[in-house]
Amino acid sequence: MAIQAHESTERRQPDDPRERILSAAGCEFAERGYDAATIRDICAAAAVNIAAVNYYFGDKRRLYIESVKHAHESRVRQVPLPEWDSSVPAERRLHDFVDNMLERMLGLGQPPWQVRLMMREVLQPTEACRELVEDYIRPHFAVLVAILDDLAGGRLTQPELRRVALSIIGQCFLYRAAGDVVGMLVPADEIERLHTPPRLAEHVTRYALAALGRAAPLTGGGAGVSSQDVVA
């Protein structure tokens, strides 16, 4: 099982100016969005002259598109799709998948800029989005759908599986996209104790397994919501 090998540091400064600009731009766009990120800031961070953007990329828009492309391509390269030994039960696979997704979205302080930039693009799609979907998102989606198909024992149609998959993704996505609001809604001590990737993964997985009849309902008929049994 290959999961989340090693996250590269936020932004190593490449030698090549073009790469340096891409990296700096990725960070700025991830942090501030397209409109608020400025060429001057990007060039300062990349230690290049402002004309370099025109020279290497043509214009700001092109630079943005290339940054998004660079982000998902490097993610695909560095972080392969999760794979499991054939003996690993589907329950476990689902848990791992969800855990991995939550770690990526919420993990350790702050996700790398590539992930943050992709999230922005998902929320406000540009022409860069289609390729991001095909190159990065769809393969992950297919893995999740396959796991759910196993869990459902072939009893759900593809459309049904896709909707269940989207339900799972939606649950994880909320904490990332609206995390500040969640933080205002829920008591702080509860955020600290229960809103960590592992704990949320537990909940999201258990919710799914219960809904699919692969675990007892959340309300009982077993050890309760916090039980580790289903994934042990």
Annotate each residue in 199-218 with x if it binds a second copy (CB under 8 A) or - if it does not, as one string.
-x--xx--xx-xxxxx-xxx
Q: Determine the residue type at 27.
A: C
Residue of the chain from 4, 7, 14, 17 that contacts DNA (CB under 7 A) = 17
Which CB sits closer to DNA, 51 or 178?
51
What does the DSSP assignment read for 128-179?
THHHHIIIIIHHHHHHHHHHHHHHHTT-S-HHHHHHHHHHHHHHHHHHHHTH
Q: Cα(102)–Cα(176) distance, rounded to whole angstroms?
A: 8
Sign of CA pseudo-dihedral 26, 27, 30, 34 = negative
Residue 13 binds to DNA (criterion: CB under 7 A): no
Among candidates 71, 67, 79, 76, which has minimal Cα distance to 22? 67
SS3 content of the chain, % helix, strand, coil (to 5): 70, 0, 30
What residues between 61 and 100 interact with DNA by CB under 7 A? Answer: 61
Q: Report helix, strand or coil for 110.
A: coil
Work out how close the CB of 161 gets to a second copy at its nearest, in angstroms, rounded to a whole number.
10
Residue 136 binds to a second copy (criterion: CB under 8 A): no
Which CB sits closer to DNA, 68 or 172?
68
DSSP 127: T
Which CB sits closer to a second copy, 46 or 98?
98
Residue of the chain from 39, 106, 132, 215 that contacts DNA (CB under 7 A) = 39
Residue of the chain from 40, 61, 62, 138 that contacts a second copy (CB under 8 A) = 138
Residue 32 near residue 15 (C-beta atoms within 8 A): no
Residue 146 binds to a second copy (criterion: CB under 8 A): no
Residue numbers of the site for a second copy (CB under 8 A)? 33, 35-36, 122-123, 125, 129-130, 133, 137-138, 141, 152-153, 155-156, 159-160, 162-164, 166-167, 169-175, 177-178, 180-182, 184-186, 190, 194, 200, 203-204, 207-208, 210-214, 216-221, 225
Residue numbers of the site for DNA (CB under 7 A)? 17, 37-40, 48-56, 59-61
